[in-house]
Structure 1
Amino acid sequence: MTTELNLRLLPSDNELYRDIIKPGQYIRTLHPYGYVYRLPEGAEVHTVRHQAHLLSHAEREQFTEKITIENEGVDDKITAAFTAGLLLGRYQPGFWKSEEQLHPLAAAGSLITFSHDSSALASAYLRERTLVDTQMEIMALVDAPANIKRPQYLAAWAEKSGKKYGYDVQVLDKAACEAEGLGALLAVNRGSEDPARFIIMQYKYQETGAAAGAGEGTEQDQTPLRKIAIIGKGITFDTGGVSIKGSQNLHLMKSDMGGAAAVFGTMEAIAKLKVKAHVIGIVPATDNSVDALSIKPSDVITGHSGKTIEIIDTDAEGRLVMSDGLSYANKYFQPDYLLDIATLTGSAVRTFGYECGALMSKNQAMSDALLAAGTASGEKLWPLPTWDAYRAGLDSDVADIKNYSGRPINGAIDAFKFLEFFTDEHPAFAHLDIAGVALKQGPFAKDRQATGFGMRLLVEWLEGL
């Protein structure tokens, strides 16, 4: 086979092949060996990245290890995004197959070059490559089978990433969780063979080089970094507990740590990109299994906050473990912004389908910034109401709050109101429910496959603060 592939990008208004290639489509060519792709009208970075991913996946058997991209007249960020999409085509979930066929771009020595290179393109490509590599890592985490992806596996992943990219990682084992009073996490963990882990990651931007030696008294020195705490749901498999789920699609509950994956990816990405922020990522990790020791509906537990919770439904476990994460973040870090992200409710899926995540926040400026970051990154969000009238459904006769109102029609908002209860009325709190977008049916796998949703959105938001 030809050792080099030529991939030509055409602006949407380019006259070449105008009658043959419609915007957003491509043709295969023999001389030179490769493809001609016409950019869509008003091309956006995330759209072009996705279309290049489709191309790379569909045509992987025709690809070679060396590709030249002809990018004359094409914006550098668009070119870089297209290249990132080609690299996303390397991802496949079949790590445990006895025979794995690698994408040519995954081979050692693979190379992508550009006909029109520049420092701006090099910078844009480096950023895209950085994000793609981390995105593929967290996709692999979400797609991993539950017997491998146990709480200690997630903790080891975080420790390895922190050591490699220079951010701090602390892992609380079961004894440390007990000493800390992480009662909600430990309650969910009662039915598991694996002890819970509570993973705390911390990244703080540090000036380097000339900027670091500028001396005290500069304007930059006088501006403290904003502190952001992000909590990700780390349920490595969710049976529903005693309130057990049905068997249909139960195997997909290995993805119930999609929020944790987004936090892991965000922490790694901002450390690699050296984003100017102080970010704390927290992942309470356990599975939710059925056992004689499992918590039961009617139980009353005490969380890290000291507040008591009546268990109505053991399948509403994600909000339990995250309530401990929110309480811990407030107690030890006093963040300027507090956010959680989780594959939390079927209600969010029934409301928005598989097109966007649900956003709930009473802070309008924070909500607007997250919506804008979602649009820019291609990981879209849309708001749901946060009215206090919904809180009455969580009133309990026997405890400070119950974990489920029994009204699935507003289940996503229920979850927000429950989590809000553990934020100490934080003025800048947001909740993201990504149940419909962390895992998707599509052209890249026979079954549903991880998307890595949340990482790009959160990086975009953090860079804009």
Structure 2
Amino acid sequence: MKISITTQVDQAVTIQPLLQTDELAQKLSLLAASLNLPAETLQQDFKAEAKEVLPIYSPDGRKTFLLGLGKEPGALDWVKIFREFFFRNKTRLTGPVAVDLTEFTAETVENIVQGIFWGGYDLRLYVTDKPAATGFFAADPELVLVLPQERHQMAQKAADRALALATTHREILDLLNAPSNYQAPQTLADWAVESGRKHGYSVTVFDKAEIERQGLHALLAVNRGSDLEPRFIILEYRAEGVENPKKVGLVGKGITFDTGGISIKPSTNMHLMKSDMGGAAAVLGTLEAAAKLKLPVHLVGLIPSTENMVDGSATKPGDVIGSYLGKTIEVIDTDAEGRIILADGLGYAIRNFQPDVLIDLATLTGNVIAALGYHAAGLFSQNDQLSADLLAASERTGERLWRLPIWDVYKEDIKSDVADLKNYSGKPFAGAISAAKFLEVFTENHPAWAHLDIAGMAYGDTEFGSQKNGTGFGIRLLIDFLGRLG
């Protein structure tokens, strides 16, 4: 996408975003005068509700689209409003398209550009008779942002940052939306290797033999039912020219398909279990974006990846398995496999990298959806400052988190009679909390660890398709957090 910044509108197609404020009628009157229309017509037909669109066609062939923003749009609202507008109207938007931001701050640019770029996403990854793209996204689209001169420099930086994030985000969406026969553990590894080569960070991939040699027994136990070998992916980005940068470890759950194992899931909606690598996707996207933006951090990403399948070799409920840290786990439910592989990811991060901050992300429990629905991910941490920083990043980006307790009284839920701990409480409540308490054991009391349960956020309902599809949740959140890390 080509982006230019000017001080006045001089394009055939213009988008005019408008807030739903007390001054709306006055602004519509000014617009009506410039468009040679009766003010009463605009005031009657357009109320600036969120995502409301009013197209206006001038006799000279110019098109103006009034785009409603609602009363107080947050960061993600800007993204979604522009994403849906460009997705719905892409065939009607031809040539350079201008967005008049004269009355808005340069800070809105990053969210707008991300939304516009995202609006060109095509979910039809494997459709054979897909027609050629037409309109705005047919070739290299041209976007013109209209702002006062004094905001141009800041707006350009925001636009460049937005494009860096948006291009990575789109690639991650392809990974998330690919079916499991196109998205194996090796696929994630290949993506990481190519990204590292392109953007200048290191990637190491353990094959099954090396996973066995390293003693990642929990990952191997989940993999036993699959014909596909597991992979353990290590990504490392170091900022150049930064003295003693903070070292942050990110661990992402990389289950490329989840049947539930012997504790098999119902068939309804099992096809969506290709989404169970949402945590891994967030880690992959964050590492690439951090390298592209040259964030001043030392970032380590770890992704244990496997399918969770059913065959005669699969781990059974009641089995006791090992782990990288040597702790034994009684497997009560093989469908609680995400925490098992994360145990090895967290343990490996602690023992080999000693990060200052450690964060894991996983589509871990249905229980967190029961608690928070599809509007926020669960945040679990004993560290108040880390929690506050992540919550602040969630407010700035609109990728919402909500902190849930992780008190020691919940240790009883993971107590085993025959092993060091069990992977599932068996209780129909507090499942997200007991899962977090399980993971906490494998952090070896790290003072700055946080667990993000993104089960309700990695996939969502969007305008791109009729079923839930990937969101890329976590990338914008983590990039904001990392960029402000002191």
The bucket for the TM-score relative to the shorter chain is over 0.9
Match of 1:451 in 2: 471
Q: Quote how far apart the aligned CAs of 1:128 are.
A: 1.2
Contact 1:158–1:264 at 8 Å: present in 2 too? Answer: yes
SS in 2 for 1:248: coil
Q: What corresponds to 2:88 in structure 1?
A: 58
Q: How does 1:55-204 map to 2 (within 5 A)?
A: 55-101=85-131, 102=133, 104-116=135-147, 118-204=152-238
Distance 2:75 2:269 in 1: 33
Match of 1:35 in 2: 65
| Per-residue Cα deviation, 1:213-244 (whole angstroms, up to 9, x for no partner) | xxxxxxx74xx211110100000000000000
The Cα of 1:38 is off from its aligned counterpart by: 4.1
Local SS of the residue matching 2:67: strand
In 2 relative to 1, CA 103–85 (structure 1 residues): closer, same or farther, beyond 3 Å? farther
Distance (whole Å) between structure 1 residues aligned to residue 319 and residue 481 of structure 2: 39
Contact 1:442 1:448 in 2 (8 A): yes
1:227-266 equivalence runs, <5 A:
227-266=247-286
**In the alignment, which residue of structure 1 is the partner of 2:429?**
409
1:272 equivalent in alignment to 2:280? no
Q: Deviations over 1:358-397 (max 9, x none)?
A: 0000101111111111111110000111011111121111
Q: Could you tell me which residue of structure 2 aligns to residue 329 of structure 1?
A: 349
Q: CA deviation at 1:113?
A: 1.5
Equivalent position SS for 2:361: strand
Q: 1:173 to 1:81 in 2, by over 3 A?
A: same
**CA deviation digits over 1:140-179, x for unaligned, max 9?**
1111100010000000001111111111110000001000
| Aligned mate of 1:387, from 407, 410, 414 | 407
Matched, 1:21 2:41: no
CA distance in 1, matches of 2:168, 2:258: 25
Structure 1 residue 339 displacement after superposition = 1.0
Distance 1:80 1:241 in 2: 42
Q: Match of 1:210? A: none
One-letter identity of the residue aligned with 1:189: N
The percent of aligned pairs where both chains have the same amino acid is 43
Deviation at 1:440, TM superposition (A): 0.9
Letter of the 1:352 counterpart: L
In structure 2, how many angstroms separate the alpha carbons of the residues matched to 1:4 and 1:86? 18
Q: Which amino acid aligns with 1:364?
A: D
Distance 2:320 2:19 in 1: 62
The range that moved more, 45-54 or 152-161, is 45-54
Deviates more, 1:50-59 or 1:319-328: 50-59
The offset of 1:11, in angstroms, is 5.3
Of 75, 80, 86, 1:45 maps to 75
1:9 equivalenced with 2:17 (yes/no): yes
Quote the offset at 1:30 in angstroms: 1.1
Scaled by the length of structure 2, the TM-score of the pair is 0.89
The secondary structure found in structure 2 opposite 1:316 is coil
CA deviation after TM superposition for structure 1 residue 65, in Å: 4.5
The answer as to whether partners of 1:10 and 1:74 remain within 8 angstroms in 2 is no
The separation in 1 between residues aligned to 2:457 and 2:434, in whole angstroms, is 20
Unaligned runs of 5+ in 2: 1-10, 29-41
Count matched residues.
449
Range that drifts further, 109-118 or 48-57: 109-118
Partner amino acid, structure 2, of 1:448:
K
Q: Which amino acid aligns with 2:174?
A: A
Residue of structure 2 in register with 1:300 after alignment: 320
Q: CA deviation at 1:69?
A: 2.0
Alpha-carbon spacing, 1:440–1:342, altered in 2? closer, same or farther (3 Å): same
Contact 2:92 2:135 (8 Å CA) reproduced: no
Gaps of 5+ in 1: 208-219
Across the aligned residues of Structure 1 and Structure 2, the Cα RMSD in angstroms comes to: 1.6
**The residue matched to 1:390 in structure 2 has which SS?**
helix
Once the two structures are superposed, residues 169-225 of structure 1 have per-residue CA deviations (whole angstroms, 9 ceiling, x without a partner) of 100000010000000001111111111000000011112xxxxxxxxxxxx74xx21
The answer to whether the 8 A contact 2:123-2:464 is kept is no
What is the letter of the counterpart of residue 332 of structure 1? N
The CA distance in 2 between the partners of 1:109 and 1:374, in whole Å, is 32
> In structure 1, what residue type is equivalent to 2:45?
I
* In 2: Cα distance, 1:177 partner to 1:105 partner: 47
Q: CA deviation at 1:80?
A: 4.0
2: CA distance between counterparts of 1:183 and 1:151?
A: 17
**What does residue 214 of structure 1 align with?**
none
Map of 2:37 onto structure 1: none
| CA distance in 2: counterparts of 1:105 and 1:140, whole angstroms | 21
1:104, CA displacement in angstroms? 3.5
